[in-house]
Structure 1
Amino acid sequence: MIVASDKFKGTLRSDEVAAAVGDGVRRVRPNAVVGAVPVADGGDGTLAAVVAAGFELVPVVASGPTGEPVESGFARRGEVAVVELADVSGLVRLPGGKAAPMTATSRGAGEVMAAAIDSGCTKVILGIGGSASTDGGAGLVRALGARLLDAHGEEVTEGGAALLTAEYLDVTALHDRIKGVEIIVACDVDNPLTGPAGAAPTYGPQKGADAAQVKELDTALTHWADLVASATRRAVPAVLGESGLDFRDVAGAGAAGGVGFAALALLGAELRPGIELVLGLVGFRERLVGVDLVVTGEGALDEQTLRGKAVAGVAAAANAVGVPVVAVCGTNLLGPERLSKAGITAAYALTDLQPDVRGCIADPVPLLRRLGEQIAADLR
């Protein structure tokens, strides 16, 4: 048996979920072999998952979303680096949890990427879930060498709102910095950068933006996209012609407040589903040999689970080689038919044992152990 769970957000790490479930299984089946493969979908927990799989964690002190220094890092194996935007520029890094929708920056993620590249890594995998900013990825690319200037030739300040004051983007040093580096972005959303389904209207309210701020941020991102098109046209005019590179309407450009856009347009990145990337990095498919059951899980099983989240990815990979899958969760909002369609034969929820959600959040480990016992008993 393998436990390949995502984190229970705000409650337990992936490895803690696996340990609790494994304890419960062994209470009923003392001789059971229960392995753990922590997984993530590119957001919170991605670094922990790949480090558990054998990557080396390289510490880096970088700028948090509001500019304060935070202790983060990248995971390295050979010349491959994994950077988790959430760990340095994410909502979890906002001081005191206080939102900063207009001024939060993605710069820190770029600083960690720069550290990885400077250390000799030639392939960087960037997970972009959980962003605190809506800056179009401007902070990230500036940390890698781009210069964003106002009408007076001065560097503009950080954050999405400041993009409105920018008049010129110089990408010369950026292109020099990333030359010869392959960049892959773990992205699980299909929003464009701008417009009604863009980064600001879709995710701005989650980051603290009110209606007026959402409108201002969308205008700022439109201006940023125009500057990027102009800058790329100047950089390689013979190839790009008059239009430059305009990725504002590409699916995924709106990911992480527009970091997807900057990665596509200025880093030449490839966007790929997060869980597929992580499963490959942790060697999940190789671990399935000889396994009779996979237990996956996350805090809540709902319709979002079925849209490229870790649980769905784990189930698809296991089912592809004929291994059955069950899930553990805090709450389950999916009926048997929806679960079956996702390749999950059964779901075990903490709220089945403790209907008070607050009780589940306060002390989930004993409940997960009891779910492990139920899973083991049902195998008989």
Structure 2
Amino acid sequence: MKFVIAPDSFKGSLTAKQVAEAMKKGLTRIFPDADYSMVPMADGGEGTVQLLVDATHGHLITKTVHNPLDQLSEAYYGILGDGQTAVIEMAQASGIQYVNDETHNPMITTTYGTGELMLDAMDHGVKKIILGIGGSATNDGGAGMAQALGAKLLDSDDHELAYGGGALGQLDHIDISDIDPRIKATKVLIASDVTNPLTGKDGASAVFGPQKGATPEMVKKLDSNLHHYAEIIKRDLNKDLEEKPGAGAAGGLGTGLMAFTNSTMAKGIDLVVEFTHLKEQAQGADFVFTGEGGIDFQTKFGKTPYGVALATKEVAPNAPVIVLAGNVGKDIESLYAADAMDAIFATPEGAKPLAQAIKDGPHDIAETAENVGRLIRDLEK
């Protein structure tokens, strides 16, 4: 019997690898001689760099960059085993973890450090960059990233704009004559499941700005500035991006990447499926186990368990997909209706405080996997 074990991390608790090991521990109590294919997963967010580095036998690189507050900080990214592909989480350089209730201010926070990581990756000879763009502290439309790459964002006096979304209203023209020429030859795969446009009620400022400290007045100003930014990009770079799906991801970094780099939007989970060779490893599977810390109706919009289910059903259509989750939320019936997932189980044993649930995570996951294994064994008799 062959089991494929392909979970995401239980964020704030266990890495994807630790979750996979706990699932296997429980299943081996019932099926000690089964074949286990372990494929820890991610969806382009936290943990993607380490996971893909491990999966491809690559290595990590640490770089000093400018964080969202324009202060020097250490960030890392990965070079995959092919030596030609870098994987970067923009949050490493420009993430929300760098600010707090006193310092968060999307009028001034910048994606400059993300551009610095991209430059360093090109210095190491990569030809492709996988860029996960979740967890940002920024609302600058990727302007800082573009400035780090050598683009000049200039006001009417030919002065370089200050960092942050608050300055974009002063943008008069864009000069890309000094942008690093390597960026045109470098394929950038934008790993994101966000489809928001750049501006408007569903745009970067209105939807995500308040999470980053924007007041209602700031949201209005930032949205206006991003609209102006998009108009200048359309005029000077001949790219109409304002309403493009994903343009609003990571405070508009999606727009900046599409404007200034050779980029393509892709679901993070699809990229991870490709680089971990999940489909190849799932061939001949009898059962697939996946999971994440919390699951609800939103899981079908690019989250790991749904992506794993779709991918493995392609090559092992008769293998049930079983999901273990730390918390099972609303409207999971929609996940069953899609004919991808076959069973969903909550792992915590009884009601308990969050801190205790996190502590008990490995035990509870193993116990749940064992109980599911018992059911499988009895049904197989």
Question: TM-score, normalised on structure 2?
Answer: 0.90
Q: Deviations over 1:289-337 (max 9, x none)?
A: 2322221111111121011211111000111222321111111125663
> Residue 329 of structure 1 corresponds to which residue in structure 2?
325
> Residue 367 of structure 1 corresponds to which residue in structure 2?
364
Q: Deviations over 1:41-74 (max 9, x none)?
A: 1111110220121233233222222223122123
> Residue 74 of structure 1 corresponds to which residue in structure 2?
78
> Residue 66 of structure 2 corresponds to which residue in structure 1?
63
Distance 1:56 1:97, change over 3 A: farther
RMSD (CA atoms): 2.1
> Residue 203 of structure 2 corresponds to which residue in structure 1?
198
**CA distance in structure 2 between the partners assigned to 1:136 and 1:228 by the alignment:** 11
**CA distance in structure 1 between the partners assigned to 2:76 and 2:180 by the alignment:** 25
**CA distance in structure 2 between the partners assigned to 1:173 and 1:341 by the alignment:** 52
Report the more deviating stretch, 277-286 or 327-336.
Answer: 327-336
Q: Deviations over 1:14-40 (max 9, x none)?
A: 111112222222233333343321211
> Residue 314 of structure 1 corresponds to which residue in structure 2?
308
Residue aligned with 1:61, SS:
strand
* Aligned AA (1:138): A
State the identity as a percent: 38
Q: Deviations over 1:221-256 (max 9, x none)?
A: 112112222331xxxxxxxxxxx2221111111111
User: Alignment partner for residue 117 of structure 2, among 92, 100, 112?
Assistant: 112
Distance 1:336 1:216, change over 3 A: closer
Distance 1:33 1:67, change over 3 A: farther
Residues 275 and 310 in structure 1, CA contact (< 8 A), matched pair in contact too = yes
**CA distance in structure 2 between the partners assigned to 1:65 and 1:295 by the alignment:** 38
1:344 aligns with 2:346: no
Q: Where does the alignment leave 5 or more consecutive residues of structure 2 unmatched?
A: none
Deviation at 1:78, TM superposition (A): 2.6
Residues 348 and 365 in structure 2, CA contact (< 8 A), matched pair in contact too = no
* Aligned AA (1:379): I
Residues 183 and 262 in structure 2, CA contact (< 8 A), matched pair in contact too = no
User: Alignment partner for residue 295 of structure 2, among 272, 276, 301?
Assistant: 301
Residue aligned with 1:179, SS:
helix
Q: Deviations over 1:195-217 (max 9, x none)?
A: 11111101112222221111111
Q: Where does the alignment leave 5 or more consecutive residues of structure 1 unmatched?
A: 233-243
Residue aligned with 1:277, SS:
helix
Which aligned pairs between 1:187-266 and structure 2 lie closer than 5 A? 187-232=192-237, 244-266=238-260
**CA distance in structure 2 between the partners assigned to 1:28 and 1:133 by the alignment:** 49
Distance 1:34 1:67, change over 3 A: farther
Q: Deviations over 1:86-131 (max 9, x none)?
A: 2222223436895332222212221111111122111222111222
* Aligned AA (1:28): I
Residues 106 and 214 in structure 2, CA contact (< 8 A), matched pair in contact too = yes
1:136 aligns with 2:138: no
Residues 50 and 78 in structure 2, CA contact (< 8 A), matched pair in contact too = no
> Residue 43 of structure 1 corresponds to which residue in structure 2?
45
Question: TM-score, normalised on structure 1?
Answer: 0.90
Residues 59 and 71 in structure 1, CA contact (< 8 A), matched pair in contact too = yes
Deviation at 1:141, TM superposition (A): 1.2
Distance 1:363 1:96, change over 3 A: farther
Distance 1:225 1:92, change over 3 A: same
Residues 79 and 120 in structure 1, CA contact (< 8 A), matched pair in contact too = yes
**CA distance in structure 2 between the partners assigned to 1:97 and 1:295 by the alignment:** 42
Residues 154 and 172 in structure 2, CA contact (< 8 A), matched pair in contact too = yes
**CA distance in structure 2 between the partners assigned to 1:30 and 1:96 by the alignment:** 50
User: Alignment partner for residue 270 of structure 1, among 264, 268, 274?
Assistant: 264
**CA distance in structure 1 between the partners assigned to 2:137 and 2:299 by the alignment:** 22
Residues 20 and 366 in structure 1, CA contact (< 8 A), matched pair in contact too = yes
Residues 127 and 185 in structure 1, CA contact (< 8 A), matched pair in contact too = yes
* Aligned AA (1:57): L
**CA distance in structure 1 between the partners assigned to 2:369 and 2:276 by the alignment:** 23
Deviation at 1:258, TM superposition (A): 0.7
**CA distance in structure 1 between the partners assigned to 2:216 and 2:358 by the alignment:** 32
**CA distance in structure 2 between the partners assigned to 1:373 and 1:119 by the alignment:** 45
**CA distance in structure 2 between the partners assigned to 1:374 and 1:334 by the alignment:** 24
**CA distance in structure 2 between the partners assigned to 1:324 and 1:297 by the alignment:** 14
Distance 1:120 1:307, change over 3 A: same
**CA distance in structure 1 between the partners assigned to 2:350 and 2:288 by the alignment:** 22
Residue aligned with 2:181, SS:
helix
Residue aligned with 1:379, SS:
helix
Residues 8 and 290 in structure 2, CA contact (< 8 A), matched pair in contact too = yes
